[in-house]
Homo-oligomer: A and B are copies of this chain.
Amino acid sequence: MINNPQRLPWPKTQEPEERRHKGMTIGEVARSSGVTAKMVRHYEALGLLPAAQRSAAGYRYYDETALHEIRFIRQARTLGFGLPQIAELLILWRDPGRASQEVKALAEAQLQALEQKIGELQQMQQSLRRLVSQCHGDDQPDCPILDELATEKSDLDGKKGCHDGGG
């Protein structure tokens, strides 16, 4: 279900350079950035991107700068940043007078979030691996996995939802 940019039913010979003074349509931007048109509109609605220039009929047209920002968003998503964080990153990116420590702080926060998430998943992985290794996996009903899930207090339990108390 991935739309191939090459295999277009249109007889479009080449990507437009300056054919149109208006810029690229949202579809062209989508193909060129790897971000769906849907998401481009979404980012605009969320305020990540400035409102695109519109034709008289309401079509969005994008210049190279906008395309750059959309690619920027895509790259940041690749690193797992959330859209609110990307909004901040974009603001910093546009600001020539930014301090790199602000960017670094955002990145370190994201790094911490990643470590946290990875840790949680690894704990699941560990518990689950143990259970899987204990289960015969035959046609008998005995199953340590189900047994453990049915256990009131098990190794799986605890640490979840318990913060160090607020008073």
Contact = CB atoms under 8 A, between A and B. Distances in A.
This chain: how many copies in the complex? 2
A115 interface: yes
Contacts of A151: 75
Interface residues of A, number: 61
A101 B139 contact: yes
15 contacts: A71-B150, A75-B151, A75-B156, A76-B149, A78-B156, A93-B149, A95-B141, A97-B141, A99-B138, A99-B140, A99-B141, A100-B137, A100-B146, A101-B136, A118-B122
A92 interface: yes
A43 interface: no
Nearest to A120: B80
Contacts of A104: 132, 135-137, 143, 145
A143 B103 contact: yes
